[in-house]
A and B are shown apart, each in its own frame.
Chain A
Amino acid sequence: MKTTKILTGIGILVAFSFLTAVFVTGILMSQNNQKITNDALNGATNSNFGGNNTGANNSGGVTLNLAEVAKHNTSNNCWLLISGKIYNVTSFLPSHPGEAQSIIQDCGKDATLDFDTKGGQGNHSQTAQSMLTDYYIGDLGTIITDSNNATKVTPQTNPIAPPNTRREDDEEDDDD
């Protein structure tokens, strides 16, 4: 009786300290991120980065959240969320060895489990894992600056590459 009370108390304390830590760092980081994104935007405008940006387009950033992912839920416009990273796999659909249909049902959704388990049949190969990086858009929760490129559905061209810093994380993570 006493033991359950103590254990429950400890459990609640640990869980809520964890949550507090996550939320505090989350808020701090989102403030930092915004600063970085703004800096990046300004920088891009000044140097006319990307060629087609004529400036004053600071609001052109797209926040990569679940609602945004959910918009891309068709076979002509298919984003997947896998382990917190977002991929535009539209151009890849026709060439998926396990039939396009098996991916299409996950378009606009978190497909982590399906990818990890090959829809419940096993594991994706190293090659498959590294192929995925070609379709990377950005991490969930970040803001991408060039929404046009990211959302444009042109099956032949790859979506925009992530900012170069993220590419490193990406490769590290995909060593699975």
Chain B
Amino acid sequence: MKKAGWILIIVLALIPVLIWLGIEPINARFTNFTQTMTNLGRIFALVGVSLFSLTFLLNTRLKLVENLFGGLDKTYKAHHICGATAFLFVLFHPIFLSIQYILISANLAAQFFLPSLDKIDVSAGIVALLLMTILLVITFFVKLKYPNWKFSHKFLGLAFIFAILHVLLISSDISRSGALKTYIVLMLIIGITSFSYKTLFYGLKKKSVFVVEQVKKINQNIVEICLAPKNHFGVFKPGQFIFASFKDKEIGEEYHPFTISSSPSEEQLRLTIKESGDYTEKLKNLKPQTKTLIEGPYGGFYSKKEGEQIWIAGGIGITPFLSMARSIKTNNKIDLFYTVKEKKDAVFIEELQKISKQKNNFTVHAYYSSLQGRMIAKNITEHTKNIENKEIFLCGPAQMMLDLKKQLISLGANRNNIYFEEFGLL
């Protein structure tokens, strides 16, 4: 199931190439160097524009799409990779096409890359690509503040509109073949609909209303925000996250993702947040009674089957496990490995140990990296056997999750049973 989304994307991006090859057989397309380069350029355009359209779909937060990828965090990761790949294909599309001109003269090739009013169709493509380049340089290499970045990122929709003009105006295999045209236009419609839905109509979607009840300082840089519901909030599974917007001008009213740390049975919704940037630093100043809009829940970080589980938390990565521990229903064995730097950082250890005393199947293993070094998979297998059949949940710093995942797989864990949060992307 986790791979279904990816397979679908690859298939959807390759279909136009297959239709294109059907218009004319491969041997007629690649007879000499010039032709090969030109046709590679054409393939790059078809794959690029399909992926570009799908990138917008991956940004819609639709449940259907989320399910294909096994969680919204994974869907955003796909959006990220799909977008970057689309950009690379689109970027090299004119470069391959220009080879035919370069072989004649560089001057001619330079002319090919320059926009002009005489060739609106080509120029639209050039504008789209320039805009895409600028916006993706911003995304990847300029550290903008989140709301500014988000604003800039919306202009990719404009780049897409120019790309649509380019695709529809230029005389090409697309304008010549009915089947190819139908498919590509369908892709473009998916893209533009997704974009309009997300930028124009998404604000109208109904959100759940909460008010801040209490902001509790857990330690120097962790706060717990307790929210009381003002209207109905749907059921969530422990381990899921929401997007919250606090209506406070000084803090910033944009939506940010937070893991829920309370149990679904509690009346209030609790978010446990570590200061890690401009925005989260300000959250300790939240005042009670601040109106809060919540969207969600999202994410696939929860058990999918009956059986034993291993939970691995690094630092503030404990938050989903707080919700999970506070609402344990199963009698199957659960081992929680809570790794922090020093003893004083294990802020939730007391509560977790208390739960562990009440629930015989739940064991907490604290691990201090300043004393014991970085945690490796062996530290886990020392305490729990048969990892091949267990569901394993990882939440913590990205590098730690990747390393542990790799090590656990090499010790026999089943790749499909490993879950981890891709929080950096939300």
Contacts and interface: CB of A to CB of B under 8 A. Distances in A.
A33 B104 contact: no
Contact of A26 (B107, B136, B141): B107
Given A1-B424, A67-B118, A123-B28, A11 B88 contact: yes
Interface in B100-123: 100-111, 113, 116, 118-119
Given A19-B113, A120-B23, A85 B104 contact: yes
Interface in A105-147: 109-110, 112-113, 116-117, 119-120, 122-123, 139-142
Interface residues of A, number: 45
Interface string B145-187: 0000000000000000000000000011100110000000000
A176 B31 contact: yes
Contacts of B84: 4-5, 7-8
Given A12-B91, A15-B95, A176-B32, A25 B106 contact: yes
A28 to B, nearest CB: 8
A5 B92 CA distance: 17
A70 B171 contact: no
Interface in B30-47: 31-32, 34-35, 38
A12 B95 CA distance: 12
Contacts of A33: 107
B81 interface: yes
A70 B110 contact: no
Nearest to B137: A12
B137 to A, nearest CB: 7
Contacts of B91: 11-12, 15
Given A26-B109, A67-B118, A140-B111, A8 B88 contact: yes
B80 A1 contact: yes
Nearest to A5: B140
A163 B398 CA distance: 64
Given A9-B141, A11-B92, A116-B35, A139 B108 contact: yes
A54 interface: no
Q: How large is the interface on B (under 10, 10 to 19, 20 to 34, 35 or more residues)?
A: 35 or more
B50 interface: no
B56 to A, nearest CB: 17
Interface in B368-426: 398, 424-425
Contact of A29 (B107, B116, B140): B107
Contact of A117 (B24, B103, B109, B118): B24
Nearest to A19: B113
B111 A65 contact: yes
Contacts of B425: 1
A108 B77 CA distance: 46
Contact of A70 (B80, B109, B118): B118
A102 B103 CA distance: 28
A40 interface: no
B40 to A, nearest CB: 14
Contacts of A65: 111
B80 A141 contact: no
Given A22-B109, A113-B171, A139-B105, A1 B88 contact: no
B118 A66 contact: yes
Contacts of A173: 34, 103
B104 A139 contact: yes
B24 A22 contact: no
Interface string A22-50: 11011111100100000000000000000
20 contacts: A1-B424, A4-B81, A5-B84, A7-B84, A8-B88, A11-B91, A21-B106, A22-B106, A25-B107, A26-B105, A27-B110, A29-B105, A84-B104, A113-B172, A120-B24, A139-B105, A140-B101, A140-B111, A173-B34, A176-B35
Enumerate the 5 nearest inter-chain pairs by beta-carbon distance, A residue then B residue, closest first.
A26-B110, A25-B106, A141-B108, A26-B106, A26-B107
Interface of B: 23-24, 28, 31-32, 34-35, 38, 77, 80-81, 84-85, 87-88, 91-92, 95, 98, 100-111, 113, 116, 118-119, 133, 136-137, 140-141, 171-173, 176-177, 398, 424-425
